[in-house]
């Protein structure tokens, strides 16, 4: 899957990541790592230190980071997970 664009949001601790493929038809919200532990993509994203919450819908993922995390360190890891993601059952 290809990351097409990373868009800022009104929240400086969140970005919207536009993807080349649809991931899901229904919105999926994970407010913490425990909530996403059984979801294949969410669990991989939460394995990245600093990822605080996720919203997955259609062809985008909104990633929220913890206040102490730094986007320049977090973004490459998130992009790598998304690029390696093979659309499983979501």
Question: Structural domains in the chain?
Answer: 3-84 (3.30.1370.70)
Tens digit of pLDDT at every position of the chain (90 positions): 899 999 999 999 999 999 999 988 899 999 999 999 999 999 999 999 999 999 999 999 999 999 999 999 999 999 999 988 875 544
Q: pLDDT at position 45, please?
A: 98
36 burial via Cβ count (<10 Å: 0-12, 13-18, 19+): buried
Q: Write down how long the chain is.
A: 90
Q: pLDDT at position 85, please?
A: 82
Please give the full DSSP string across the chain, using - where no structure is assigned. --EEEEEE-SSTTEEEEEESS--EEEEEEESSTTTTTTSHHHHHHHTSTTEEEEEEEETEEEEEE-TT--HHHHHHHHHHHHHH------
């Amino acid at each position: 899957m290809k990351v097409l664009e990373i868009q800022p949001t009104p929240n400086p601790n969140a970005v919207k990541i536009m993807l080349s493929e649809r991931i899901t038809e229904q919105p999926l919200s994970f407010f913490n790592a425990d909530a996403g532990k059984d979801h294949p993509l969410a669990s991989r994203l939460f394995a990245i230190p600093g990822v605080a919450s996720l919203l997955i819908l259609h062809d985008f993922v909104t990633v929220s980071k913890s206040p102490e995390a730094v986007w320049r360190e977090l973004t490459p890891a998130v992009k790598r997970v998304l690029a390696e993601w093979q659309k499983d059952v979501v």
